[in-house]
Amino acid sequence: MSRIIHKAVFNEKLYSERVNRTEVFLGRNQEEQKKAQKILSESTVGIAGTGGIGGAVALRLARFGIKKLKIADPETFDWSNINRQLGATKNNAGKNKSETVGEIVHDLAGDVEIEVFTDGITVENAEEFVDGCDIVLDQLEFTVIKERYALHRAFRNNKNIKHVLCCAVVGWAAHLYKFEHDSMTFEDWYGVDEDQEINAEIIDRMIKLIAAKFPHFPAYSELRRWMQDNNGAVPIFAGAPPLAEGILVPRTILGLLGKEYSPYAKWLPPIPQMYAYDAATLTGEIITSDGHFKNADEQKIIWDRFDAAAG
């Protein structure tokens, strides 16, 4: 089965009760708050990828009262997912991620329609997936090329979509970035031909793009060693996806409401700029992602001190 639709059963009174504690933060007064909640209730968000970040974000957006979600993921749960992913349990090993997440999110209150693409994002269905979405969240694996390109082309062809948001994690850090209709394209930013075979050099480039401010520990060489020893798998610190969720969800809400600007918020400029937050160092800043680590000199100083102390 490639498509599952969980229909919503809506009860105005129950809906009002469950969003009541959130609604007050959506505007300056009650009139503005009610208007904002209505916008959220009429919004549709597409989430491509329901892993450690995408699955949790789907559940959180449903809690906000967004009443339609489109989710996509072709992968199945395995034991390595249990450290971080919504729906990853011993009983769900081998089950499709998006199908499981769709069931969990729909069971939350029953008033959110969930359209599940169990085949994931494909070149053939990308246009259909984004159709009707107000914002799209790209949480596909960073090594997926052809499908991500298709997703972003579909976004650019659909002017009703506000923008695409993405959040990547490495170590204790999360990197949030955005694509707008007139910004640099995903294809130009990645700079990889969609038919090109992924090799170590391309993976190195992509890591330096999505994690432009690399954590202090471990050394980058140790991360690459781990990936090589584990057949190209990517290590993920279990505390990082919730950090990404905590950044990505508010920016999605602000974007849907048209309040991602001053005085409500600080604007997130699109790629090649991104926001990087490191929970270990308690630092957050806007940086430029151009294929080079922004803190390479800082890392060298820290590791030189570490090696000197160890010696």
Q: What local confidence, expressed as pLDDT, does residue 3 receive?
A: 93
**What is the DSSP track for 219-253?**
-HHHHHHHHHHTTT-----TTHHHHHHHHHHHHHH
Would the pLDDT of 19 be above 80? yes
d(CA 119, CA 87): 18
* Contact between residue 128 and residue 81 where contact means Cβ atoms under 8 Å apart: no
| Mean pLDDT, rounded, of the chain | 95
Rounded Cα gap, residues 271 and 289, in angstroms: 7
As a whole number, mean pLDDT of residues 96-106 equals 96
- Residue, of 2 and 256, whose pLDDT is higher: 256
d(CA 143, CA 254): 29
Q: Which two tokens stand for residue 280?
A: 């270990």
Task: Give the torsion sign (CA, 284, 287, 292, 298).
Answer: negative
1, pLDDT greater than 60: no
Please give the Cα distance from 114 to 307 (Å, whole number): 52
Class of domain 3-196+234-268: alpha beta
Q: Taking Cα atoms as reference points, which of 101, 123, 124, 125 lies closest to residue 114?
A: 101
Per-residue pLDDT averaged across 179-197, rounded?
95
pLDDT at 51 over 90: yes
Q: Where exactly are the structural domains of the chain?
A: 3-196+234-268
* Residue 158: half-sphere exposure toward Cβ, Cα within 13 Å: 22
pLDDT tens readout for residues 202-219: 999 999 999 999 998 888
